[in-house]
């Protein structure tokens, strides 16, 4: 997958890609012969939200801040769990059925990989400067509300 | 007066990719107040409400309101909604 912004080290990789994320082969990025578990999460654009039909989501990103926040998130997750981790998020248009975020973690035993992936998506949603504009069939595109970073940093 | 360029992200893109505000100091609070005044002038109470929950950034650093910026460009970041 082509990443226009990426930070990596020996435990984790994070990055941003234009358009939909590729899901095939994401597990290969966390391969480790000492690890017996691989957990993956794909965030996929669905065809409805708040009772309205959705056809796509257009993701807006602050590349510098988002990559930095993803890197800090990976570092935090890898401090809490003995895992190898990858997180990739989309920028731009992602259509229904396509993935906008992919996360994979591997660990020696399943609980750590599953916990790491679950925490990673929960934290991504409230920490990373990314915004989504939902596109429908007939309504005006609408920006979705989210989590205030200002209130976090007071 | 100093002119500061504000980069719009998320819902603020409805105002364009950038707009300028004139401020008497480079403090983030002064910039926030100038943006608020601009939104009032545009009759956008919806965006004023979002502004109250938004944070500014300079380059790759988040800015609290008491900070004084060094450059003349800031980014305006509404509440985040990735995933």
This prediction's pTM: 0.96
Q: Which residues of B touch A129 (CB under 8 A)?
A: 9, 57, 77, 80, 82
CA trace torsion B67, B68, B70, B72 (10° rounding): 110
Is pLDDT at B64 greater than 70 in this prediction? yes
Is pLDDT at B6 greater than 70 in this prediction? yes
Is pLDDT at B37 greater than 80 in this prediction? yes
B59: left (phi over 0), alpha (psi -120 to 50) or beta: left
Q: Which two structure tokens, joined as six digits, stand for B76?
A: 């305006």
pLDDT tens per residue across all 154 residues of chain A: 899 999 999 999 999 999 999 999 999 999 999 999 999 999 999 999 988 999 999 999 999 999 999 999 999 999 999 999 999 999 999 999 999 999 999 999 999 999 999 999 999 999 999 999 999 987 789 999 999 999 777 6
**Confidence (pLDDT) at A154:** 66
The second-level CATH assignment, the architecture, of A5-140 is Alpha-Beta Complex (3.90)
Rg over alpha carbons for chain A, rounded to the nearest Å, is 16
CB of A92 within 8 Å of a chain B CB? The answer is no
Say how far apart CA A15 and CA A86 lie, in whole Å: 8
Say how far apart CA B26 and CA A130 lie, in whole Å: 26
CB A71 within 8 A of CB A14: yes
**Confidence (pLDDT) at A103:** 98
Cβ neighbours, 10 Å, residue A67:
23
Nearest to B10 among A60, A128, A153 (CB): A60
Say how far apart CA B13 and CA A150 lie, in whole Å: 19
Which ranges of chain A does DSSP label H, i.e. alpha helix? 63-80, 110-127, 149-152
Say how far apart CA A68 and CA A131 lie, in whole Å: 16
User: Contact A132/B77, CB-based, under 8 Å?
Assistant: no
Mutate to test the interface with B, among A72, A94, A146 (most CBs of B within 10 A): A146
Q: Where are the domains of chain A?
A: 5-140
């Amino acid at each position: 997958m082509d990443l226009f912004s990426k930070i990596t080290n020996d435990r984790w990789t994070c990055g941003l890609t234009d358009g939909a994320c590729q899901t095939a082969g994401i597990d290969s990025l966390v391969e480790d012969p000492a690890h017996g578990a691989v957990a993956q999460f794909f965030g996929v654009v669905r065809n409805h939200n708040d009772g309205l039909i959705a056809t796509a989501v257009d993701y807006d990103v602050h590349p510098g801040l988002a990559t930095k926040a993803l890197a800090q998130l990976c570092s935090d997750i890898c401090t809490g769990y003995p895992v190898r981790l990858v997180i990739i998020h989309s920028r731009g248009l992602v259509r229904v059925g396509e993935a906008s975020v992919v996360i994979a973690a591997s660990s020696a035993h399943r609980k750590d990989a599953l916990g790491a992936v679950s925490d990673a998506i929960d934290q991504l949603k409230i920490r990373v400067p990314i915004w989504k504009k939902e596109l429908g069939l007939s309504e005006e595109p609408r920006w979705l509300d989210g989590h205030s970073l200002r209130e976090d940093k007071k | 007066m100093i002119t500061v360029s504000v980069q719009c992200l998320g819902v603020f893109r409805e105002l364009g990719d950038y707009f300028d505000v004139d401020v008497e100091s480079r403090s983030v609070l002064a910039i926030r107040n100038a943006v608020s005044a601009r939104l009032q002038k545009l009759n956008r109470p919806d965006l004023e409400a979002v502004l109250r929950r938004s944070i500014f950034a300079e380059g790759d650093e988040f800015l609290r309101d008491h900070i004084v910026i060094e450059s003349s460009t800031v980014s305006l970041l509404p509440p985040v909604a990735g995933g």
